[in-house]
A = this chain, B = another copy of it.
């Protein structure tokens, strides 16, 4: 009988302990969701960022406005600490709206076009040249010097059959980033690419390209045309392979500029010097308002922390919002943040990034050791009533990935992605494309995950 009572007690105590944790966790998730849906600020903040500031490329006046606004917003929300972390960022601007057209059977056909980020301008009078359509970089390589003087048209559609459009984007984005380099060395005069979207529409979708370290004289202008225009051009090239294409763009790379990551904290009660980061990039492309990419991630990150405050939940570890500058162009903000963290020996327990749009929550993508991956799986049942079922291995995002160590739990918030590339980097990425409930439910999901990270990591 000697051991019976202690054993019995210990069983009780384990059960009670795990049940009490479970009840507390469930309550926290309920509270986050209730607060997000009834007292949410994310949608109101996103209206301002979208409509009053709009597109905000690193180095531009708009980006600086966004920095000031984010700093003020976190201060007004009562964060314990808010500061700016200086970082040198590239400064590329589009200049005058681009023009493109060609003539078929004496009819002038206008083409919706946009320079790719980092591209050089055309000569002031534009470029007019014969156009050659290719379906891959390999095909262009094969054509080699036959491309001399030509405009090379990379007509590579994003695959529609991948269930996650991000997979298709990953498969195709290399065309946008690299193709100018590939054909520049053959003396091609420019490249145009089919916009990276699965939708057929009339909007060019921009995005970054890179000349890497190629010689100045091999740099050629690069632009994207809309998917509808790409379909039509391809058809017209079959009718007339001698087609001449004209376009003009006046974009320019200015001197790098000082800008800032915007950082805010809710100080941890137990481990104030251990950090859980939540964030996304503050900059955006210039064609739209950057509402899904990544205004949503910005307001969700700030709001997730605010949900702790309004529910009077004190984190054990310090929760830190980081709004990274310059994700879209060179990634300087996130490298700077990670470098400084290393210099200062800061302990980062975890990072949660939102940079996949403000759509209905579906799950989380996890980049961690197996122990943490398994730990997160134990939280799944808490999320199912909120329609969140997907906890899979994958990258956390372009900004938080620099925080990777063997012991850091990095997670990407992954909302439904079917519509994402309709708006991505295009003039269509505007506030009206964001649904209030979807944005708020995403915020609550992020706050919930932060809460569990904070409860179970140290």
Contacts and interface: CB of A to CB of B under 8 A. Distances in A.
A416 B360 contact: yes
A227 to B, nearest CB: 12
A445 to B, nearest CB: 11
Interface string A414-440: 001011001000000000000111100
Contacts of A441: 163, 418
B33 A163 contact: yes
A416 B418 CA distance: 12
Q: Tell me the number of copies of this protein.
A: 2
A292 interface: no
A165 interface: yes
A33 B387 CA distance: 22
A387 B437 contact: no
A419 B435 contact: yes
A37 B160 contact: yes
A336 interface: no
A226 to B, nearest CB: 16
User: Interface range on chain A: under 10, 10 to 19, 20 to 34, or 35 or more?
Assistant: 20 to 34
A161 interface: yes
Nearest to A438: B418
Nearest to A439: B418
B437 A38 contact: no
Contacts of A389: 384, 389
B390 A390 contact: no
Interface string A351-388: 00000000010100000000000000000000011110
Identify the interface centre among A163, A390, A422, A438: most chain B CB within 10 Å of its CB. A163
Interface string A319-341: 00000000000000000000000
A253 to B, nearest CB: 36
A289 interface: no
Interface string A387-406: 10110000000000000000
A92 to B, nearest CB: 31
Identify the interface centre among A34, A165, A437, A441: most chain B CB within 10 Å of its CB. A437
A165 B437 contact: yes
A199 interface: yes
Contact of A422 (B199, B416, B418, B435): B435
Interface pairs A-B: 8 shortest CB-CB: A389-B389, A418-B437, A37-B160, A419-B435, A418-B438, A360-B416, A37-B161, A360-B418
Interface of A: 33-34, 37-38, 160-161, 163, 165, 198-199, 360, 362, 384-387, 389-390, 416, 418-419, 422, 435-438, 441
